[in-house]
Each structure stands twice: as structure tokens, then as C-alpha cells.
């Protein structure tokens, strides 16, 4: 029984560490869209999309502006 318990603890700890690492990367932006909209607006304020877009491709649009 102790061997099974240690195996469960090792894999459970690994899963816990992965969850705590991926939360701020994957899940927090999905839950707090307003904060990220403002951050993207500040980051892209000086960028002219037509100047950085390769010719013939559609100009970038806001990924939060879903229909």
C-alpha cells in the first residue's frame, strides 16, 4: 500500500504543479478579458497595422470582438 500511495502523491503533485503553472497563462486571460483588452490597446497604440502586415493578407482584427 505505501508504494501506491507514494506513486499517487508523486503524480498528484506533478499535476498540481502543472495546474498552478498553466492557470496564469491559459485561464486567467479568459476570465479577465477587460484587463487584457486595455493592456493590448496600450501595447498596440503606436502600431499601424497596414505598415507591419505583409501585402495581400487581411489586416489584424480584435480577437475579443466576436459576433
pLDDT recorded at residue 12 = 95
d(CA 41, CA 67): 20
Q: Which residues contact 37 (CB under 8 A, 6 or more apart)?
A: 62, 64
Query: Are the C-beta atoms of 33 and 60 separated by less than 8 Å?
Result: no
Would you list the domain boundaries of the chain? 2-45
pLDDT recorded at residue 1 = 55
User: Cα 26 to the chain's mean position, in Å?
Assistant: 4
pLDDT recorded at residue 49 = 73
Count the Cβ atoms, other than its own, within 10 Å of residue 50.
9
pLDDT recorded at residue 10 = 94
d(CA 47, CA 41): 10
Residues (pLDDT < 70) of the chain are 1-2, 60, 66-67
Amino acid at each position: 500500500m505505501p508504494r501506491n500511495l507514494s506513486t499517487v502523491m508523486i503524480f498528484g503533485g506533478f499535476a498540481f504543479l502543472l495546474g498552478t503553472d498553466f492557470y496564469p497563462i491559459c485561464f486567467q486571460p479568459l476570465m479577465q478579458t477587460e484587463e487584457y483588452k486595455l493592456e493590448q490597446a496600450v501595447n498596440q497604440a503606436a502600431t499601424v497595422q497596414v505598415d507591419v502586415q505583409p501585402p495581400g493578407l487581411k489586416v489584424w482584427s480584435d480577437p475579443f470582438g466576436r459576433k
